[in-house]
């Protein structure tokens, strides 16, 4: 600990200086002297990597001042992990420049689960990564201190004369600090260099950086690893130099690193892109394009089960089923405001009757059409197609609308991020007074739907506009309209009793939204359904209804997608169930496997009886041996495997084999059929076993 006590002034009079230490559940007043640092307060605790002083993250070596509010930043909390990960990026960069002295430094920010650092150098090979990790381990062992040093622009430019990208960042300082990741190295304030100092005082390496960092490299322990490399462009712009991006992961401990690796393995096993091919559910083809899925018959079964379910539920919940085209004149989207507010998400215009020159450039004519990115504008036109009375409200339109969004090929991913998106999209038109109840109704509907598909661990996210941030121009409508809509959604989210996370700036341009985040079987969260309050489109489309007093009023419109998108929801279901779907969703519910070909016909009869009850059943009468057929059924994750051999035939029975390997033998056929039919009808989301019966 530092010398506690009054601070002596030049004149020798004593002024009491003190700080407030913020503890997890208390505030503590403590005297300090002129040199007290975060390390004096928390340095003995190796789980503390930095301090938060008056809300700002600082190095532990930061000197505290009278009146400061100081809190410890733990290694395992998000800010602590980011500091640890970024410090690990320094260690990786030091190792790279020892291996490749002419490698030029880009930037090295922390990212989810780890960090990267960019270099201009020849591509790094897997063998290079092994060498680099060894050298990083040495640097960690040396416990090199991270020492902060304030420098002038000129001083920094001279010191870093051989680092062209750092020089560029110095020039950018204060102008364009949000260049991809650049805010890690230079903020708007003073420039700082961090020296990595060995115990003998020698500077091992240095980097232009804002910090903070862990006190010394020993804090990294053995909870880190290099993971991969990729190509990247300087400042994310493909007109700039191509760099090599080195990725790593870093955690508070070796155990946390091991747990992270296990999560990755578990996620890889569940990867819906891999399972989609193995289970023959869907594919993508170059001739169609990225992000545009083709559903195969087995994927089609799941898709249809989802569609049948959600269509029936919408009808039960009072929605009218409508249909609209995939393209419309561009003017429609100007009316709705999607142009220009959502222009980035839309495909470029298609031109009808355009006259083009030999280069394909339009020289005259041409009515511009757009692939729709939203269904709402067309639903608005259905609303406006005739007069509406207050007695008609709420009026609810629903359809499976396939919309098209121009996602960049880099972000398209399997079914979870596609460019053709089939939304189970609805729009409720109601009076302002009816809006809260309609939103409650939609939230109940959505939560029951997620539960029916086995996603019952959910939280809500409340997305509002960015009132003063840099995106504030992306939202339309008045202050009061936003405040009122946000208040209603916030109140209803609160009433639900579910956890609510705020998402400022995440709203659609036309109004705030509640989105429902579901946690899957391995703890990952996915954004699924949305409920959005819209006061803008009714105004833009001049929608109205006749009130009970005969006046014309404007309805409120509530957008809602329950699955969100059929594609994404299916992708999430595949990963949640790791391909072992609930029986009611399984493409093949029963596979019948004869012990020998002599029993093919016997099982074909049993299958016909199941099929008569609507069960999806196959008989494997192929040439494979019995054992191979059983293994195939397991790979296909079929919930019910029916087996018949000589004894079964004599007894008029079959045997069940389940996903968990358990068996029920000699079940009379009537009983077996009844059990399967009851299980499927029960829409249970667990897997049948010898014990678990309908
Ligand atoms: Zn740094
Ligand atoms: Zn909509």
Note the pLDDT tens digit of each residue in 223-246.
Answer: 999 999 999 999 888 899 999 999
Rg of the chain (C-alpha set): 31
**Assigned token pair, 364:** 């005259």
- Gap from CA of 205 to ligand 2 centroid (Å): 54
- Gap from CA of 80 to ligand 1 centroid (Å): 13
Residue 15's pLDDT is what? 62
Could you say which ligand is closest to the alpha carbon of residue 377?
Answer: 2
Give CA–CA dist 82/114, Å, rounded. 8
Torsion sign (Cα): 211, 217, 222, 227: positive
Active site residue 425: yes
Active site residue 62: no
Check: CB of residue 610 under 8 Å from CB of residue 677.
Answer: yes
Check: CB of residue 154 under 8 Å from CB of residue 193.
Answer: no
- Gap from CA of 64 to ligand 2 centroid (Å): 52
Could you say which ligand is closest to the alpha carbon of residue 399?
Answer: 2
Could you say which ligand is closest to the alpha carbon of residue 82?
Answer: 1
Spatial CB neighbours of 553, under 8 Å, sequence gap ≥ 6: 390, 431, 544, 545, 546, 547
b/e burial code for range 332-348 (CB count within 10 A of at least 16 → b) = bbebbbbbebbeeebee
Which stretch of DSSP H or E encloses residue 505? Answer: none
Q: Is it the case that residue 5 has pLDDT exceeding 70? A: no
Q: Is it the case that residue 469 has pLDDT exceeding 70? A: no
Q: Is it the case that residue 655 has pLDDT exceeding 60? A: yes
**Assigned token pair, 637:** 């994750």
Outline where DSSP puts E strands in 365-419: 367-371, 395-404
Domains of the chain and CATH, by start: 7-74 (3.10.20.30), 79-266 (3.30.980.10), 294-354+365-576 (3.30.930.10), 590-681 (3.40.50.800)
Helix/strand/coil for 333 = helix
Confidence band for 186, pLDDT divided at 50, 70 and 90: low
How is 511-569 classified by DSSP, letter by letter?
B-EEEEEEE-TTS-EEEEEEEEEESSHHHHTT--EE-TTS-EEPPEEEEEEEEEEHHHH
- How, if at all, do strands 145-151 and 7-8 pair? unpaired
pLDDT tens digits along 306-323 = 999 999 999 999 999 999
Could you say which ligand is closest to the alpha carbon of residue 375?
Answer: 2
**Assigned token pair, 243:** 């760099």
Active-site residue identified among 88, 209, 376, 430:
376
Spatial CB neighbours of 319, under 8 Å, sequence gap ≥ 6: 396, 397, 398, 426
In terms of phi and psi (left: phi > 0; alpha: psi -120 to 50; beta: otherwise), the region of 6 is beta
Q: Is it the case that residue 180 has pLDDT exceeding 50? A: no
Residue 692's pLDDT is what? 80
Q: If you count them, how many residues does the chain have?
A: 694
Which residues are within 5 Å of ligand 2 (an ion), measured at CB? 376, 559
Active site residue 245: no
Active-site residue identified among 58, 405, 419, 664:
405
Of 476-480, 512-516, 545-549, minimum mean pLDDT range: 476-480
Greater model confidence, 11 or 369: 369
- Gap from CA of 412 to ligand 2 centroid (Å): 22
Give CA–CA dist 638/587, Å, rounded. 8
pTM recorded for the entire structure: 0.78
Could you say which ligand is closest to the alpha carbon of residue 534?
Answer: 2
- Gap from CA of 378 to ligand 2 centroid (Å): 9
Q: Is it the case that residue 177 has pLDDT exceeding 90? A: no
Active-site residue identified among 40, 59, 118, 425:
425
Active-site residue identified among 85, 235, 427, 664:
427
Residue 384's pLDDT is what? 97
Check: CB of residue 366 under 8 Å from CB of residue 354.
Answer: yes
Residue 6's pLDDT is what? 46
Residue owning tokens 């359904």: 529
Spatial CB neighbours of 624, under 8 Å, sequence gap ≥ 6: 632
Average pLDDT value for residue range 628-643 = 96
pLDDT tens digits along 128-168 = 999 999 999 999 999 999 999 999 989 999 999 999 999 99
Q: How far is CA 173 from CA 11, 176, 684, in A?
A: 41, 7, 59
pLDDT tens digits along 240-256 = 999 999 999 999 999 99
Active site residue 88: no
Active site residue 200: no
Give CA–CA dist 65/161, Å, rounded. 35
- Gap from CA of 406 to ligand 2 centroid (Å): 17
Q: Is it the case that residue 73 has pLDDT exceeding 90? A: yes
- Gap from CA of 425 to ligand 2 centroid (Å): 7
pLDDT tens digits along 331-381 = 999 999 888 888 888 999 888 777 777 877 777 777 889 999 999 999 999
- Gap from CA of 27 to ligand 1 centroid (Å): 30
Active site residue 444: no
- Gap from CA of 322 to ligand 2 centroid (Å): 14
Check: CB of residue 613 under 8 Å from CB of residue 602.
Answer: no
Active-site residue identified among 272, 372, 465, 513:
513
- Gap from CA of 427 to ligand 2 centroid (Å): 6
Q: How far is CA 578 from CA 301, 309, 693, in A?
A: 17, 21, 22
- Gap from CA of 336 to ligand 2 centroid (Å): 10
Could you say which ligand is closest to the alpha carbon of residue 401?
Answer: 2
- Gap from CA of 560 to ligand 2 centroid (Å): 7
Could you say which ligand is closest to the alpha carbon of residue 324?
Answer: 2
- Gap from CA of 172 to ligand 1 centroid (Å): 17
Active-site residue identified among 423, 434, 532, 537:
423
Give CA–CA dist 56/315, Å, rounded. 53
Give CA–CA dist 450/309, Å, rounded. 12
Could you say which ligand is closest to the alpha carbon of residue 88?
Answer: 1
Active-site residue identified among 120, 245, 559, 629:
559
- Gap from CA of 90 to ligand 1 centroid (Å): 6
- Gap from CA of 217 to ligand 2 centroid (Å): 51
Number of alpha helices (DSSP H) and beta strands (DSSP E) in the chain: 19, 37
Check: CB of residue 640 under 8 Å from CB of residue 593.
Answer: no
Could you say which ligand is closest to the alpha carbon of residue 559?
Answer: 2
Strands, sheet with 525-534, edge to edge from the N-terminal-most edge strand = 320-321, 395-404, 420-430, 556-565, 525-534, 513-519, 458-464, 500-504
Residue owning tokens 């390390």: 39
- Gap from CA of 468 to ligand 1 centroid (Å): 29
Spatial CB neighbours of 380, under 8 Å, sequence gap ≥ 6: 336, 427, 537, 538, 541, 543, 557
Give CA–CA dist 429/435, Å, rounded. 9
Q: Is it the case that residue 176 has pLDDT exceeding 60? A: no
């Amino acid at each position: 600990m530092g010398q506690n006590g009054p601070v002596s002034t030049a004149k020798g009079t004593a002024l009491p200086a003190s700080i407030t230490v913020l503890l997890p559940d208390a505030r503590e007043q403590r005297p300090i002297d002129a040199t007290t640092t975060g390390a004096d307060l928390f340095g003995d605790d190796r789980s503390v990597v930095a301090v938060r002083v008056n809300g700002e993250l600082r190095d532990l070596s930061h000197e505290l001042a009278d009146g400061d509010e100081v809190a410890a930043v733990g290694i395992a909390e998000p800010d602590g992990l980011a500091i640890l990960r970024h410090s690990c990026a320094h260690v990786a960069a030091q190792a790279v420049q020892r291996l490749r002295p002419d490698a030029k430094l880009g930037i090295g920010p922390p990212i989810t689960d780890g960090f990267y650092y960019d270099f201009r150098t020849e591509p790094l090979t897997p063998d290079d990564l092994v060498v680099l990790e060894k050298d990083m381990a040495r640097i960690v062992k040396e416990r090199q201190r991270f020492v902060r040093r304030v420098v002038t622009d000129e001083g920094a430019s001279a010191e870093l004369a051989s680092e062209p990208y750092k020089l560029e960042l110095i020039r950018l300082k204060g102008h364009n600090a949000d260049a991809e990741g650049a805010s890690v190295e230079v903020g708007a304030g003073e420039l700082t260099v961090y020296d990595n100092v060995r115990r003998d005082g020698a500077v091992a390496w240095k980097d232009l950086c804002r910090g903070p960092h862990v006190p010394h490299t020993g804090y990294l322990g053995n909870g880190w690893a290099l993971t991969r490399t990729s190509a990247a462009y300087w400042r994310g712009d493909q007109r700039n130099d191509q760099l090599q991006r080195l990725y790593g992961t870093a955690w508070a401990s070796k155990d946390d690193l091991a747990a992270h690796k296990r999560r990755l393995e578990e996620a890889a096993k569940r990867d819906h892109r891999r399972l989609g091919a193995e289970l023959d559910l869907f594919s993508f083809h170059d001739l169609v394009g990225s992000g545009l899925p083709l559903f195969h018959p087995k994927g089609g079964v799941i898709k249809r089960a989802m569609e049948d379910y959600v269509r029936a539920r919408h009808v039960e919940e009072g929605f009218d089923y409508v249909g609209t085209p995939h393209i419309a004149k561009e003017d429609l989207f100007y009316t709705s405001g999607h142009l220009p507010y959502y222009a980035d998400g839309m495909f470029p215009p298609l031109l009808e009757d355009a006259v083009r020159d030999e280069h394909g450039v339009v020289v005259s004519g041409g009515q511009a059409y757009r692939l729709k990115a939203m269904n709402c504008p067309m639903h608005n036109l259905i609303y406006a197609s005739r007069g509406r009375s207050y007695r008609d409200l709420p009026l609810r339109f629903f359809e499976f609308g396939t919309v098209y969004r121009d996602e960049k090929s880099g972000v398209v991913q399997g079914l979870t991020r596609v460019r053709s998106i089939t939304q189970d999209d609805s729009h409720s038109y109601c009076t302002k007074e009816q809006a809260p109840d309609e939103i409650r109704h939609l939230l109940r509907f959505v939560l029951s739907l997620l539960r029916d598909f086995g996603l019952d661990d959910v939280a809500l996210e409340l997305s509002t506009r960015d009132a003063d941030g840099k995106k504030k121009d992306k939202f339309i409508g008045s202050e009061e309209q936003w405040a009122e809509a946000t208040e209603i959604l916030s109140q209803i989210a609160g009433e639900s009793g579910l956890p609510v996370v705020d998402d400022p700036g995440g709203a659609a341009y036309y109004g705030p939204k509640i989105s429902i985040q579901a946690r899957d079987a391995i703890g990952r969260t996915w954004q699924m359904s949305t409920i959005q309050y819209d006061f803008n489109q009714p105004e833009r489309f001049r929608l109205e209804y006749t009130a009970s007093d005969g006046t014309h009023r404007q309805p409120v419109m509530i957008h809602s997608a329950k699955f969100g998108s059929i594609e994404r929801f299916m992708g999430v279901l595949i990963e949640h169930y790791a391909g072992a779907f609930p029986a009611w969703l399984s493409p093949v519910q029963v596979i019948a496997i004869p012990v020998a070909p002599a029993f093919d016909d016997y099982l074909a009869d049993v299958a016909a009886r199941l099929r008569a009850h609507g069960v999806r059943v196959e008989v494997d009468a192929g040439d494979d041996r019995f054992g191979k057929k059983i293994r195939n059924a397991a790979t296909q994750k079929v919930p019910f495997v029916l087996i018949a051999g000589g004894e079964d035939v004599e007894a008029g029975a079959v045997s069940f084999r389940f996903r968990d390997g358990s068996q029920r033998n000699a079940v009379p056929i009537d009983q077996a059929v009844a059990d399967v039919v009851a299980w499927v009808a029960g829409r249970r989301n667990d897997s049948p076993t010898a014990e678990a019966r309908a």
